Amino acid sequence: MLTKFLRPFVPNGVATSLIAYRPLSISNRFFQNANSKSTSVDKSSKTDEKSLVGQENKKEKALRVEDSLKDLSSIKWRTEHNGKRLWPHDQWPERDLVNFPPYKLREAPNAVRWYFVPESWFKFFYDKTGVTGPYMFFYGLIIYGFSKEYIVLWYDFTEYLILAAAVITVVKKVGPSVGDIFRGWHQEEVDRYTSVVNNSKAMAGKMLHGYEESLSRAKNVGQLADARKDIINMALETAYRDRMRQMYEAVKRRLDYQVALQNARKDFERTNMINWITTEVKKAITAKQEQDTLQACLNQLRQIAQQSR
Amino acid sequence: MGDAWYSKTNETIIPGNPDRIKAKWDPLQYLNLAQYLKVFNEYPRDFNARVHGPYCPWRYYGKRDLHFGDVKVGDIPAWIARRDKTPMGIYQGGIRTFWKFYRAYLDNKRPNLIWYTQIFMVASLFNFVFFAIPDRKHYKWAKYH
């Protein structure tokens, strides 16, 4: 209940009269008239200053998370800034993303030469000393140490030399493998966290694929029905044509019969007539006529023979 | 009297009052040493979350100044004069140095042991200069170099 009467946290150097506030919910509007000190509505600057005077000491109290969780209407959002309307999702127009970009996890550590000298030092000295500057510096340092006997060449120097050589050899040979093994262990653990979201995404994709397939199948059902309709129509047409053919053949058979019948009749009449005529003629030929025609033919032959000689 | 670790007011002991349970699993949290270290546990003065976003301890949020590599040799005293040499400023600079080192070598996806090597080399150098050279002064082959 006390949080309803708290002023919101205002950063230093911002005039409260320039900021307009709006609560998230209307639950505290019912208490406006009950307590004159509440500032839950956009008010003119006159009332802001009045309420400032009454609650100066309360402004110093920090808002606690527990208070805001108990009563979400105590969260105040800005509604305008420099004359521009601000929405709940866009409350930070002063954010400078150019000079202060958001935090990003880096991929690899800074580059390094000889396992302890950063590359930035080499780049810094490149303009002044060239490529060999830092190398010459460290070699010169070592030589200075020998020459001034800061590095004393005593009998234990051999041990240090061999130790350095051994360490460097071991690190060069074994280092990358050990790093990969450790990174593999770490990557397994990271995968256990990230695979949850990736697997959900993959499952969602699979389900969407199934939905798309069922949708296409639903579309193809229409084509299937059309195909069945076409098949049935084609069968109907086949039957229709078959029956037309049958009709045609039946009618043709009957007509051919009639034609054959007429032809047979005519044929019979003709043959009968010819036979009758020939038999009658043959019957009418007497024996005397036969002898006379024979003599006439013989005489003609004799004449022809006389002529041809 | 209020509540201390050895005595509590009656109000706080009423059953059903979750705020009375001040125990925490982590002993450091329970001891609540942060109340004594509040001075060191605050944001720098120039940090404004509305402008700068979430706080990055390796960044300097004051007025932008030249990098030490870009400053000319003659301007070094003026450059040093512009720095914040108060104890709080030095403390914050040290914190920033540490976080820069952390971000350079440890805050990435493929860390290695270069950070260890660098610390080892610096420690070796310190030991060599201040402890090993005095120990070996007796074993020098020549007196004057």
Closest Cα to residue A29, out of A18, A16, A43?
Answer: A43
Residue A97 lies in a domain: no
Higher pLDDT, residue A287 or B25: A287
Say yes or no: A203 and A170 in one domain: yes
Cβ of B112 within 8 Å of Cβ of A109? The answer is yes
User: Which residues, 6+ apart, have CB-to-CB distance to B93 below 8 Å?
Assistant: B84
Residue A39 CB burial class (10 angstroms; 0-12, 13-18, ≥19): buried
pLDDT at position A177 is 96
Q: What is the pLDDT of residues A117-150, one digit of tens each?
A: 999 999 999 998 999 999 999 999 999 999 999 9
Q: What is the dihedral of CA B41, B44, B48, B52, to 10 degrees?
A: -100
ipTM of the complex: 0.76
Same domain (yes/no): A200, A266: no
pLDDT in tens, B90-135: 999 999 999 999 999 999 999 999 999 999 999 999 999 999 999 9
Q: Give the count of Cβ contacts less than 8 A between chain A and B.
A: 74
Contact between chains at B108 and A108 (C-beta distance less than 8 A) = yes
- Residue-level pLDDT at A118: 96
> Is it the case that residue A69 has pLDDT exceeding 90?
no
pLDDT at A182: 93
Question: In a 10 Å sphere around its CB, with 0-12 CB exposed, 13-18 middle and 19+ buried, how is residue A198 labelled?
Answer: exposed
Per-residue pLDDT at A52: 46
Strand partners, A23: A76
Structure tokens at A152: 């004393």
Predicted local confidence at residue A77, as pLDDT? 83
The whole-angstrom separation of Cα A29 and Cα A38 is: 9
Q: Of A198, A228, A258, which residue sits at a domain end?
A: A228
Instruction: Decide if pLDDT at A6 tops 80.
Output: no
Does residue A72 sit within a domain? no
Structure-model confidence comparison of residues A203 and A86, the more confident one: A203
Quick one: A215 and A259 in the same domain?
Answer: no
Q: Distance between the two ends of chain B, CA-based, in angstroms?
A: 75
Q: How far is Cα B58 from Cα B103, in angstroms, rounded to an integer?
A: 8
Residue A25 located in a structural domain = no
Band of the pLDDT at A53, cuts 50, 70, 90?
very low
Half-sphere CA count of A155, side-chain side, radius 13 A = 0
Which residue in the set A112, A115, A149 is minimally distant from B145, CB to CB? A149
Chain A positions touching B131 (Cβ under 8 A) are none
- Res A35 pLDDT > 50: no
CA distance from start to end of chain A: 169
pLDDT in tens, A286-303: 888 889 999 999 999 999
Whether A85 is in a domain gets the answer no
Same domain for A222 and A143: yes
Q: Nearest 5°: CA angle at A197, between A191 and A202? A: 105
Per residue in A206-245, pLDDT tens? 999 999 999 999 999 999 999 999 999 999 999 999 999 9
Residue type, A49: E
In a domain, A283, yes or no: yes
pLDDT of A100 > 80? The answer is yes
Judge whether A80 lies within some domain.
Answer: no
Chain B contact set for A105 (CB, 8 A): 107-109
Q: What is the pLDDT of residue A309?
A: 79
Q: Round to whole Å and give the CA distance between A5 and A32.
A: 10
Is residue A207 situated within a structural domain? yes
Measured between alpha carbons, how far is B115 from B109 in angstroms, rounded to an integer? 15
Same domain, A296 and A256: yes
What pLDDT was estimated at residue A63?
Answer: 57
**Any idea which of A56-65, A90-99, A190-199, B128-137 has the lowest mean pLDDT?**
A56-65
Residues B95, B98, B100, B102, CA torsion sign: negative
Number of domains in chain A: 2
pLDDT of residue A49 exceeding 70, the answer is no
> Do the chains contact at A106 and B114, CB–CB below 8 Å?
no
CB contact B144 to A (< 8 Å) = no
Question: Which domain range does residue A148 map to?
Answer: 106-228
Q: Is A138 inside any structural domain?
A: yes
The answer on A112 and A216 residing in a single domain is yes
Whether residue A154 sits in one domain with residue A216? yes
- Is the confidence at residue A15, as pLDDT, over 60? no
A174 touches chain B (CB under 8 A): no
Same domain assignment for residues A127 and A223: yes
Torsions phi, psi for A84 (to 5 deg): -105, 140
Q: At a CB cut-off of 8 Å and minimum separation 6, what does A39 contact? A: A5, A7, A21, A47, A48, A51
- Does the CB of A155 have a partner CB in chain B at under 8 Å? no
* Confidence category of residue A54, pLDDT binned at 50, 70, 90: very low
Which of A13-17, A285-289, B24-28 is modeled with the greatest confidence? Answer: A285-289
Whether B118 sits inside 8 A of A149 (CB atoms) is: no
Q: What is the pLDDT of residue B33?
A: 86
Chain segment A157-200, per-residue pLDDT in tens = 999 999 999 999 999 999 999 999 999 999 999 999 999 999 99
Give the closest residue to A37 by CA, choosing from A17, A57, A12. A57
- Please tell me whether residues A194 and A262 are part of one structural domain: no
